[in-house]
C-alpha cells in the first residue's frame, strides 16, 4: 500500500517556473559557468550567390526572379551583408554544382 503524504502535495512547476529556470540557466551559461546545457552550434557555410548567378548567365534582377526573392536581397547576398537561408541557400548550392540541370528544370521560368 502506498503511504499517504502528510501535509502539502508537491507542486507541479508552472510554465512561468520553467521559463524562469531556463532564463537563469542561460545567464549562467553566458557567464561561462558549467550548466550541463546541450549547446548546438550551427554555422552555415558561405554561399556564393554571385558564382551561382554567373553560372546561369543571369543579371541580378533575373536571378532574383528565378530564386523568388527581391533584387535587393540578391545584392546583399553578393555584398556579404546578408546570407541566404533555407531553400534559397540550397538552390544556390545546386545551381553552383549543376547549373545545366537547373537551367533545364527552370527553362520556362527563365525564358520569361
CATH code at position 82: 1.10.260
**16 within domain boundaries:** no
* Region of poorest pLDDT, from 57-66, 79-88, 100-109: 100-109
Reduced 3-state DSSP string for 35-78:
CCCCCCCCCCCCCCHHHHHHHHCCCHHHHHHHHCCCHHHHHHHH
The count of domains in the chain is: 1
CB atoms under 10 Å from CB of 47, counted, come to 20
Label residue 36 exposed, middle or buried (CB < 10 Å: 0-12, 13-18, 19+): exposed
pLDDT one-digit tens code per residue, 63-84? 999 888 999 999 999 988 898 9
Rounded to a whole number of angstroms, the CA Rg of the chain reads 25
What domain range includes position 97? 49-111
Amino acid at each position: 500500500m502506498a503511504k499517504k503524504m502528510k501535509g502539502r502535495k508537491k507542486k507541479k512547476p508552472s510554465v512561468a517556473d520553467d521559463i524562469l529556470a531556463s532564463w537563469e540557466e542561460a545567464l549562467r551559461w553566458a557567464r561561462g559557468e558549467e550548466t550541463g546545457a546541450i549547446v548546438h552550434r550551427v554555422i552555415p557555410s558561405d554561399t556564393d550567390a554571385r558564382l551561382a548567378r554567373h553560372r546561369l548567365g543571369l543579371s541580378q534582377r533575373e536571378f532574383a526572379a528565378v530564386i523568388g526573392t527581391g533584387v535587393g536581397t540578391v545584392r546583399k547576398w553578393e555584398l556579404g551583408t546578408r546570407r541566404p537561408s533555407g531553400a534559397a541557400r540550397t538552390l544556390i548550392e545546386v545551381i553552383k554544382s549543376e547549373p545545366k540541370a537547373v537551367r533545364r528544370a527552370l527553362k520556362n521560368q527563365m525564358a520569361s
